[in-house]
Structure 1
């Protein structure tokens, strides 16, 4: 019996095995022991070597008609080639997967241990990154060299030496009498902030790099692993005068800190030179010059995203590729000069190689100046691999060049395939090259034509090429935009049409020129940067009206892999450089991207989702007839808050762009901090709260109501009623605003939910005494005041009698929520207690009497090896 052979043409290029292997390894909930990965790596490499040697001994690839060595028939050659190709692919898949697991294991070992959390270490080390200012201080990367002085923890706790940690140092460094995150500072006077390369002695308190975890949201724990961040923490005031926080003599001259020090000097010089210019435009110039994205005011990022130009406002692959292309063009022109491009030089090293070397040197230098971020690294390696492959003549296929580039990037950075930027870069480059390979009619030089007519023809040709490139890039990013960002900018093609040439050809090159001249010739550099800042201001002014309309973006729910695959094939057909029968019909294959929408809960069910927003509250209640958001999460500091960072992206990822109601329970920032972003980013019918109409949290709403006991409404079979506040006045121990917190009860045939805000024991006692037990009874209770010991009293829990309870609290929060006493009371009441700090986002679907609720806890149910495991009680 003759067995069929896998068709070799169906296999992707061999380097693609590296990409596939990394994606498979990153699906693991836990990593295997290191020895297992080492054995798999050795086995894969041996099998790959044996397959390549076998291919050589069999004489595969000999001219047609020549028999294979050993008397084999020529007909057997394709069969052997197919088998060996499959073996090579599987062997490389095995080796690459093992390599990914080994690298991941090494990075995980750098993280601090749980017993090192919450311990005060007196450490010495150096500042490894450029500090970033925020509302209350600065954040910076710090390399711990060793521990000195007394430790506040047990003697058995090891020092986290040799680790990179990200620290926050609150303002008034060393200034007596000031408070830093609840701690009194300990120095006699203020010291200047830390600078890259400086060595410091600091008292620090650390925790593992635990981040917010919500579906489809940015995974900060993955980014920390990729960047080698072992812990996050903050600088504390010294408890021992003998070990103060102080700057030490000497500095680190390692390449990383030295480059960061140069970037800091340039950043300060740029901002000083532009002190009299528009602050927002000056921030963009700093971001494009040295990669300081924090210099751009946070409010502008929503404008950039709505207009589809966000990729231009940071040093991305587009800028690096553009600069490399310009450098290569300058090198080519220089080599034409007889004093530079001498025959002796060009005989030793051809002009094409010199041009590519100069272009790559410019790319790597610019990326280093920009902070050598992960996207910049990927672009540099992509350019290097593509250049070597093309110059070496080893690959003539675009697919093979891209696969080889992706493989090299993945070997150097195994987490790159999990990044949206990785796929966006490859998709846009592939589409532009694929579409650009069509033959286009170029204007032929005609000496008889007028000069003006020739110039006009060249201009038309250039504009046509630009439009073709923009069309290919825009179309190629449509499915990825839906997949990663759940939106597509409808005005993006128009905005990019003028923003790309202005930023790429004018603003960025001149900004780099001005920066280069700023230190040696400050007046000239300042003049150039001032002109760049003016042009940047014009660009920002032009983007504002485009971002205003509600129709600026289309909200798309994240598509599944079938819709994404079909859309990718359709785009390949639309951009194909050859004739495709029925090409316009391929547009129909894009419709599933726009047709997908979150339909809401099934009839008769009720879905409650408690998002992981840290130390704050944000709960979405979904019924078959409408959605209500109860609280909008906290403000994290500066312009960062939960509305823009968590709520709006998550809602858009599900295709939700309208909320029927928003309730802001009270004025505290941990409940109302994200309201402005929610009201700006979503269509909201009305808002209810105890706040005055002019309060910033509710002022932007079209309709505003006061939550008041007895106010009720219905959406289909679901009834809503406010139970608190009322005309009576009660007091609260923690905050006066807690006493006026809204309490909302939701009742449906599927079950009842009680949302309590931040009421405390006094308000709970009042509700128990004032209301009949049936008005408090609920299947699901969102714990009052984040589960503090001063709430969740036993009489209240008996009255509510919940089966499930959810606490929304931050990881290792300074309030100790949920409190030990409160946890004991919930256990005694028979309620299963879930926590967002331990479980991530929590979703509960109530399905009616006799049916157990369906509970999803993201950190537990979607395990990944890099996610911090929280063993909280």
Structure 2
């Protein structure tokens, strides 16, 4: 028995589905831990697992005299599976320990540090300036500070940074390039992110990407040092790849400078993976039409390029080319068989494009699938597609133990698995001939026209079957991860996939490469690419304009999700099933799940974590009201698009009866326009001037006026402030005194929403109203807990059980003020804070204690950072 044949049972075992499922399952399970075991225990698990794995492989492969009978082979399989589970768990835990240990120490937060570091990434433009990763190698000042190497995502501000509506700085020369060494003044903080239901977990992504801190380069006159480029340059391979990406992006930007930003942004995203130039409203359109996966580095694009590599190598191998050898010139097949060489070409093309495109998760999945398939073919043991898929998933998880927590991981593998399950029974490297295109032996070759028609029909049929399989498979996952289903997705993908993967992406890559060379050819190719992209965007706009382009579906219940998965499996089963169409009934509980709403007699309140801003959702059995829409940060980034929209969609909420904008400050009104584009809002109530964009965009607008009230079922809403006769001085002093103050009263309890009123307005409310008119169970702290609000008399009159402070982590205003916090505690008021607790959900019910859920703590996860603070007073 040859050595390869002796070891092949091991390869076969490791390539089978159960080991791959064990690796994925263990990696997913580790990420559910609230706390990590000790590093010593994790290392012991890894060592024990490797030992069991080695023993199982040795027994199963029959090394030396350890030959087992067939009946005893399951023993080796069990040892392999158990050892693989222990080794995978230990490896994932050690990776997690290493990631947490390298995070920025809390003692260094907010300090201005003088550091030396190396730029690691391609500079990415934004409205704030430029972003990149910086490897901090030494801290020079303050003296005496020491920390291990820190990888920080830093922003280099532009002169327009921080201005509302500022555009990205694309088109200008970045102040740095990958590989340069710099001496900078930085202000760093831990990568603590906003935490809301249904929102992307940025803290987990930072851990996965090795981001230990977030920072801003100090460039003003008050900086400790001016940015100084140091001598030398890093020539590590990843840095060289990043410099190549930068050159490609800049060449495309120059060639398409006259094109619209969305067109230019899509072309750049398809080539180098930089999606910063694609506007937020276009991302919303891509997601509603179900083509968002095509506008990033999709596995389809990589597969297309791999196919191009296969075709090129086969042409080269059949061209008569002769290569030098020991016995003289010989054809390439003498060195490597054509099928093997074709797979090598496919893998090389896939990895090269994925590196240029940023090495995202879909790219990793496709590359490792191709690599596993190529390895099996080179070993002479071509495996089935299912085994290759499972092995690729295991490889991705071993390289990135956090991968199973990403939606893209499950979407990528589920789509391919569905296509395989539905109709692909081919073994890699053994693609059979199409009967429609074959001619009986000895018969004359069929004319080219029938052969071409048969080939086109076969390709279109396979594409249609694959699209149906992928669409059905992604239906349950789309509702789970994105709370929406695109009804026009099959149609939009039918023309978008061949256009993007077959034309736009190859032309963009060719044009980008040619644009680096002298001559106008690259510009011509890129202009053609831009014209095709513009046509694609126009077609998608038509699809998106249909009323029922997409459905918003609440996050499914486990039983509904399980029924939908079983229904999809039956509908896609590759064998005949009587009455198969009735399996579609299993999708109905998923598609027609109503949005969760309070039952009669309950009042729900959610204070979103929007940073330094305000956004509170009040829900009754008869309607929903959103009080303020959070801040606008810069450009098209605001709380409406990044926080409120995803959180509301996860609840299945696509309509608001009322949206209140308390006043015009951007930390309260900044996300309103984004929400008006995403949701149906019956009316907007505000103190905004008539020419404000939110007022002009609202379907119906009314002013909040003291004394006005309305009723939703048994819940009463009443405006307590402002009044039409407020003194003009208040209007000249700023927007805070004009904040709409809303009191919500129901049998379940009462809520007071005061906006940004300050001491003078609080005194006015006390003068005009008696204590019962202000009394509330829940109070959102006025003006985020500033020193000029929350007077002792006001708190005594309201007498809340709980107070909510909506504040940003380490905000520059110092909210909430320590003296104000002490004032609340002295009156026995329980304190909740969004910077520490994340989004705060409270359910009030008559005769029962409030049910409070804190997003940062529920469910607990080991990677979530805490905000240290003294214990709050317990609620009475």
TM-score by length of 1: 0.91
Whole-Å Cα distance in 1 between the matches of residues 492 and 463 of structure 2?
14
Asked whether the 8 Å contact 2:317–2:332 carries over to 1, the reply is no
**Counterparts in 2 of 1:569 and 1:250: CA distance versus 1, 3 Å:** same
Aligned alpha-carbon RMSD (Å): 2.7
Whole-Å Cα distance in 1 between the matches of residues 693 and 150 of structure 2?
42
1:645 paired residue among 629, 642, 647? 642
Residues 561-710 of structure 1 mapped to structure 2, 5 A cutoff: 561-710=558-707
Residue 540 in structure 1 maps to residue 545 in structure 2: no
Whole-Å Cα distance in 1 between the matches of residues 138 and 452 of structure 2?
66
What SS is found at the alignment partner of 1:293? coil
Residues 791-870 of structure 1 mapped to structure 2, 5 A cutoff: 791-849=789-847, 851-870=848-867
2:354 paired residue among 367, 371, 378? 367
**Counterparts in 2 of 1:107 and 1:763: CA distance versus 1, 3 Å:** same
Higher deviation after alignment, 820-829 or 85-94: 85-94
Alignment correspondent of 1:309 = 291
Asked whether the 8 Å contact 1:180–1:236 carries over to 2, the reply is no
1:219 paired residue among 201, 217, 221? 201
Residue 133 in structure 1 maps to residue 125 in structure 2: yes
Following superposition, the deviation at residue 56 of structure 1 comes to 5.7
CA deviation vs aligned residue, 1:541-586 (integer Å, no higher than 9, x gap): 1111211233110111122333333322322222222212321121
Asked whether the 8 Å contact 2:317–2:331 carries over to 1, the reply is no
Alignment correspondent of 2:8 = none
Residue 111 in structure 1 maps to residue 108 in structure 2: no
What SS is found at the alignment partner of 1:591? helix
Whole-Å Cα distance in 2 between the matches of residues 686 and 85 of structure 1?
64
Asked whether the 8 Å contact 2:340–2:377 carries over to 1, the reply is no
Asked whether the 8 Å contact 2:613–2:806 carries over to 1, the reply is yes
Asked whether the 8 Å contact 2:129–2:157 carries over to 1, the reply is yes
Whole-Å Cα distance in 1 between the matches of residues 65 and 706 of structure 2?
83
What SS is found at the alignment partner of 2:856? helix
Whole-Å Cα distance in 1 between the matches of residues 556 and 107 of structure 2?
42
2:749 paired residue among 726, 748, 751? 751
Residues 469-618 of structure 1 mapped to structure 2, 5 A cutoff: 469-618=466-615
1:466 paired residue among 449, 463, 468? 463
Asked whether the 8 Å contact 1:13–1:400 carries over to 2, the reply is no
Whole-Å Cα distance in 2 between the matches of residues 144 and 732 of structure 1?
49
Residues 17-36 of structure 1 mapped to structure 2, 5 A cutoff: 17-36=22-41
Following superposition, the deviation at residue 125 of structure 1 comes to 1.6
Give the gaps of 5 or more residues in structure 2.
1-12, 165-171, 324-328, 427-433, 871-876
**Counterparts in 2 of 1:412 and 1:837: CA distance versus 1, 3 Å:** same
Following superposition, the deviation at residue 690 of structure 1 comes to 0.9
What SS is found at the alignment partner of 1:383? helix
Alignment correspondent of 1:4 = none
What SS is found at the alignment partner of 1:13? helix
CA deviation vs aligned residue, 1:171-193 (integer Å, no higher than 9, x gap): 24xxxxx99899xxxxxxx9962
Whole-Å Cα distance in 2 between the matches of residues 330 and 134 of structure 1?
39
CA deviation vs aligned residue, 1:305-333 (integer Å, no higher than 9, x gap): 11111111111222112211221122122
Alignment correspondent of 2:338 = 351
**Counterparts in 2 of 1:258 and 1:30: CA distance versus 1, 3 Å:** same
Asked whether the 8 Å contact 1:685–1:703 carries over to 2, the reply is yes
What SS is found at the alignment partner of 2:853? strand
**Counterparts in 2 of 1:179 and 1:478: CA distance versus 1, 3 Å:** closer
1:163 paired residue among 143, 147, 150? 150
CA deviation vs aligned residue, 1:702-732 (integer Å, no higher than 9, x gap): 1111111111111111111111111243667
Following superposition, the deviation at residue 779 of structure 1 comes to 0.4
Count of paired positions: 833
Asked whether the 8 Å contact 1:13–1:399 carries over to 2, the reply is no
Alignment correspondent of 1:269 = 251
Residue 120 in structure 1 maps to residue 125 in structure 2: no
Residue 50 in structure 1 maps to residue 55 in structure 2: yes
**Counterparts in 2 of 1:213 and 1:373: CA distance versus 1, 3 Å:** same
Alignment correspondent of 1:711 = 708
Higher deviation after alignment, 761-770 or 721-730: 721-730
What SS is found at the alignment partner of 1:388? helix
**Counterparts in 2 of 1:521 and 1:433: CA distance versus 1, 3 Å:** farther
**Counterparts in 2 of 1:56 and 1:686: CA distance versus 1, 3 Å:** same
**Counterparts in 2 of 1:780 and 1:16: CA distance versus 1, 3 Å:** same
Alignment correspondent of 1:252 = 234
Alignment correspondent of 1:3 = none
Alignment correspondent of 1:294 = 276
Alignment correspondent of 1:228 = 210
**Counterparts in 2 of 1:660 and 1:240: CA distance versus 1, 3 Å:** closer
Give the gaps of 5 or more residues in structure 1.
1-7, 63-67, 173-177, 183-189
Whole-Å Cα distance in 2 between the matches of residues 136 and 12 of structure 1?
47
Asked whether the 8 Å contact 1:144–1:163 carries over to 2, the reply is yes
Residues 706-785 of structure 1 mapped to structure 2, 5 A cutoff: 706-729=703-726, 736-785=734-783
What SS is found at the alignment partner of 1:48? helix
What SS is found at the alignment partner of 2:566? helix
Residues 384-403 of structure 1 mapped to structure 2, 5 A cutoff: 384-392=371-379, 394=381, 396-403=383-390
**Counterparts in 2 of 1:619 and 1:53: CA distance versus 1, 3 Å:** same
Asked whether the 8 Å contact 1:732–1:739 carries over to 2, the reply is yes
What SS is found at the alignment partner of 1:859? coil
Residue 100 in structure 1 maps to residue 82 in structure 2: no
Following superposition, the deviation at residue 819 of structure 1 comes to 1.0
